[in-house]
Amino acid sequence: MKRKRERLHSRRQRPILSDTLPFELPASFSNRHIFELLRAHDVQIIGNVIRWECSDDRIDDAIYILTGIDRSTVVNSSHETKFGKVRTYRNLEFSNVDTVKEPFAFEICHREAESRKLSIPHPFSQILVANFYNDYSDSIIYYARRSPFSIRHPDSIARYSNHRDRMHERLLAKQENFEEVGKEYDQIGSFFAYRIVNNVFKFFESFRYHRAEKRFDAMMQADVSKCFDSIYTHSLPWAVLGKRPVKDDLKGSLSTFPAMFDKLMQNLNHAETNGIIIGPEFCRIFAEIILQSVDVEVEKELRIAHGLLHRHDYEIFRYVDDYYIFFNSDVDCEVIIDVIGHHLSGVKLSLNRSKTKLYEKPVITEITIAKSAISDLISKSVSSDFKLVEDEQEHEEPVYEFVSNARSRELIIGYKTILKSASVSYPEVGNYTFALLESTIDRLLADFVRSSEGHRSEQRLIDTIENILEFAFFIYAAAPRVNLSIRLARIVSVVSRALRRVRIALELRHHVFKYAHDNIVHQLRKNQVSNYREVETLYLLTALGELGREYWLDEDSLCQHLNISKDKTGLLCREQPLTHLTITVTLLYVRRRTKYNKLRRFLIEEIARVLTDKAAYARQDTEVVLIFLDAIACPYIDDAEKSTFAATFGLTAGELAKLSAVSKNWFTTWSGFNLSKELDAKRYRDVY
């Protein structure tokens, strides 16, 4: 893939786009539209005032709802002259009570029969996070650089974004004389640039890892037990300033960087001090600063009390909450583990002793062994090329023939053999395998595009794609996780889009689409929406919509997938209420299509239920804000329904109309949704 580098701007609002949402959200959900609003009006926090640039009151209601500030609070205005131009600023004062919010939590499948709760902070919390970054980015970088062990930490503010165009799309765009613009803010990975690696598997291939393997005889792998759930927010001030100084001068420490970060993390999690929310990047930064302080103390005690020198007697690499400890002596290893455990307990954390793993020379993990074998397997079992035809001498231009082949049976049997031999599970290597399949499909399509017309077998391309799809669906069926759902949806989207652009014969294209449809439907039936398996299948539902109207689900099948049944009167019902994510993704799928009238009616009633049940907490509850703003922007909900929703925030018909005019989209991209573009954007924020 070709990389393009562009300078980033809009530093104040940029964290909203990169660091405040979980990676695992549906493709239709993003902060892009809120970011554009905040950037356009230069929304910022100054002390206990939120200020924005606007000559009139047209976005006042949006600010009230996004912040949860009481509507009785008066908006004040002022004028400033900048560069010879008079600018009008409007502002609202807020109290600490206004900053205490309830995040919207959703669950994903983490391990077999185990879920993980991820959270979306309230929009006002996200604005406060962006403001905190703006005020304290230098402090974040300083306190995240202290550890001698950390291999993933903020090192500087990111100045550039990198775009990676798919090879086959670049070739097609060149043929079609087409150029895509406006990518800058769609492709931001994170607010900070990170050292030393941004993915733990890169560490196993790095010079540092191989150097440690040469120097030491063994490696111990350990991790912090339930790290994010166990973090005590007050431990950040303790970590940075020291526990005794903080307790001796509580009042004086309140205005410091660590105390402000502590308060921010509490307030966005409903004033909770035990545990921090999981998902957004800024939460990993909070944990990183705490763990860096532990690293500093561990290195110091090992050196002074035990005479063990880092990189001489041992070497530790820490990736977020995972430790990789290289050593020569078993006695030294026990000392190191004990010292780490002791200092973790000082910040109310602990090692998960039951999950430690010991590796002796050659120091190579099961996952590394499996990855190497999987790479070889795919290289041998899938091939594509465009070969110069030697006997076509009469042509002025070179003639290239497309050749390809894939054997799904060989791939599946070989894959199972590798996993069994290396003692690894499907989830452990699934993401890596799908990454290889994505690049393989890109190369396959690029070879087809570069070959000469009349010398490319469409049937051969289709056969190869179907074999790759069969292998991909086999892996997904064994481990239906969010990251694999994203990659599988991306493969389906790339294939469907490419087959339309290269003008493959309709019956051949239908063969692939029908194959993808049948496999997706099978997975939807097998993995119905549940309390902790929601987002996984929503990606497949969205990908199914990419195939075209011939492949739409019927209403009964869709209801069955969503665990929606009929009561005795024939009305749709559900034991557990649907959440914002399922409601909006399903609405985006059914649109105004007549065949889904009953289901659409049910979804609208579910929105009304959420707004009614949580009306008393509308100013604090994140789901209320998300679902209300998405509902009033939804083109598939009638204005009469939207007027009833407006009562949740006490809006008149005129105020609702004014709010609706602010943005076509808020969090869900109703207008102009492009699955391929959204999934490509996620490539720059791959889960850590």
Residues 487 and 570 reside in one and the same domain: no
Residues 501 and 557 reside in one and the same domain: no
**Apex 473 CA angle, 472 and 478, nearest 5:** 105
pLDDT for 10 equals 60
pLDDT for 177 equals 42
- Domain-located, residue 201: no
- Domain-located, residue 263: yes
The half-sphere exposure of 561 on its side-chain side, counting CA atoms within 13 A, is 24
Q: What is the CA radius of gyration of the chain?
A: 27
pLDDT-based confidence at residue 113 (cuts at 50, 70, 90): low
The half-sphere exposure of 635 on its side-chain side, counting CA atoms within 13 A, is 14
Residues 131 and 252 reside in one and the same domain: yes
The half-sphere exposure of 144 on its side-chain side, counting CA atoms within 13 A, is 27
- Domain-located, residue 462: yes
- Could you report the per-residue pLDDT of 520-568, keeping only the tens digit for each? 999 998 887 765 667 888 999 999 999 999 999 999 999 999 999 998 8
How many structural domains are present in the chain? 3
Helix (H) or strand (E) holding 301: helix 281-304
Residues 287 and 327 reside in one and the same domain: yes
Residues 585 and 672 reside in one and the same domain: yes
Residues 466 and 423 reside in one and the same domain: yes
- Domain-located, residue 318: yes
> Residue 274's domain spans which residues?
1-16+122-150+152-176+188-196+218-360
Residues 384 and 457 reside in one and the same domain: yes
pLDDT for 333 equals 97
pLDDT-based confidence at residue 164 (cuts at 50, 70, 90): low
- Could you report the per-residue pLDDT of 295-307, keeping only the tens digit for each? 999 999 999 999 9
pLDDT-based confidence at residue 474 (cuts at 50, 70, 90): very high
pLDDT for 51 equals 97
Q: Are 378 and 440 in contact (CB under 8 A)?
A: yes
Q: What ranges make up the beta strands (E) of 98-232?
A: 104-111, 114-120, 152-157, 160-165, 192-196, 218-223
Q: Which of 467, 495, 517 is the last residue of a domain?
A: 517
Mean pLDDT of 584-611: 96
The span from the CA of 221 to the CA of 223, in Å, is 7
The span from the CA of 598 to the CA of 565, in Å, is 12
Residue 273 three-state SS:
coil
The span from the CA of 547 to the CA of 567, in Å, is 32
Residues 466 and 319 reside in one and the same domain: no
Q: Which range (46-55, 165-174, 605-614) has the least confidence?
A: 165-174
The span from the CA of 21 to the CA of 91, in Å, is 26
pLDDT at residue 470 is higher than 80 = yes
- Domain-located, residue 336: yes
Residues 370 and 491 reside in one and the same domain: yes
Helix and strand element counts for the chain (H, E): 28, 18
| Residue written as token pair 């004086």 | 252
pLDDT for 581 equals 96
Which burial class, exposed, middle or buried, applies to 339 when counting CB atoms under 10 A from its CB (0-12, 13-18, 19+)? buried
pLDDT at residue 612 is higher than 70 = yes
Residue 435 three-state SS:
helix
pLDDT for 682 equals 79
- Could you report the per-residue pLDDT of 174-211, keeping only the tens digit for each? 554 433 444 444 456 789 999 888 888 889 889 999 99
pLDDT-based confidence at residue 43 (cuts at 50, 70, 90): very high
Q: Which of 360, 378, 399 is the last residue of a domain?
A: 360
pLDDT for 185 equals 44
Q: Which of 345, 360, 375 is the last residue of a domain?
A: 360
* Averaged pLDDT score across all residues of the chain: 90
Is the pTM here over 0.75, yes or no?
A: yes
Which residues are 120's β-sheet partners? 104
- Domain-located, residue 53: no
Residues 159 and 292 reside in one and the same domain: yes
- Could you report the per-residue pLDDT of 313-363, keeping only the tens digit for each? 999 999 999 999 999 999 999 999 999 999 999 999 999 988 899 999 888
Residues 260 and 334 reside in one and the same domain: yes
The span from the CA of 195 to the CA of 153, in Å, is 6
Residues 484 and 369 reside in one and the same domain: yes
pLDDT for 55 equals 94
Q: Are 144 and 289 in contact (CB under 8 A)?
A: yes
CA distances from 358 to 311, 321, 329 (A): 19, 17, 13
